[in-house]
Amino acid sequence: MTRDRLFNTESGASFAEVLVAMALTMIGLVGAMGAFQAAERILQTGTLATRALAMAESRIEAKRSARWDRLLLDDLNHDGIPDLVMRDDGAADDVLADDGVYSGSWDQDGVHLVWTVTPSRSGSLPASGHVLLEARAIYKSGEGQREVRVGTLRANPVFVGSQ
């Protein structure tokens, strides 16, 4: 064999080699796109969970800062005019009528928010020494329906007497 023939190989890759390289590249791209889609779903669920928690905490803080005599009124759009009056009527998200638990609900941005005010004396907010404030934010994720719960106690600032 001559020296020129050994070093003068100008043949390129075969058609089969090009097809194998393209197939491997496509498999890698499909895998990367699947990973990006999974990451996007996880981020959306995390964003929704964060939004649900923020809404529940916000509703609790609104109830903590409201005057005692306006505790069952809600100004959801912050315009100074009550948009919702909490009721103990067994309708909508209120579980049982006349059970002493007042509730309200609101849907926004994929989150269903339900909040309750439970006086220490059933049915009598002014005569109660304290109330239990609870908020539940319900949202859908890839694993199904999820729920965030937040709660606190609030004392009646003008309560005089014993329980």
- Three-state DSSP at 154 gives strand
Buried b (16+ CB within 10 A) or exposed e, 80-115: eeeeeebebeeeeebeeeeebbbbbbbeeeebbbbb
Which residue would you say has higher pLDDT here, 30 or 3?
A: 30
Quick: pLDDT tens for 63-103.
999 999 899 999 888 788 888 888 888 877 887 888 889 99
**Model confidence at 152: pLDDT above 90:** yes
What mean pLDDT do residues 96-114 have? 90
Q: What's the CATH number of domain 3-155, 2.60.40.10, 3.10.129.10, 2.60.120.650, 2.20.25.110?
A: 2.20.25.110
Domain ranges of the chain: 3-155
As a whole-number percent, the residues of the chain with pLDDT over 90 amount to 48
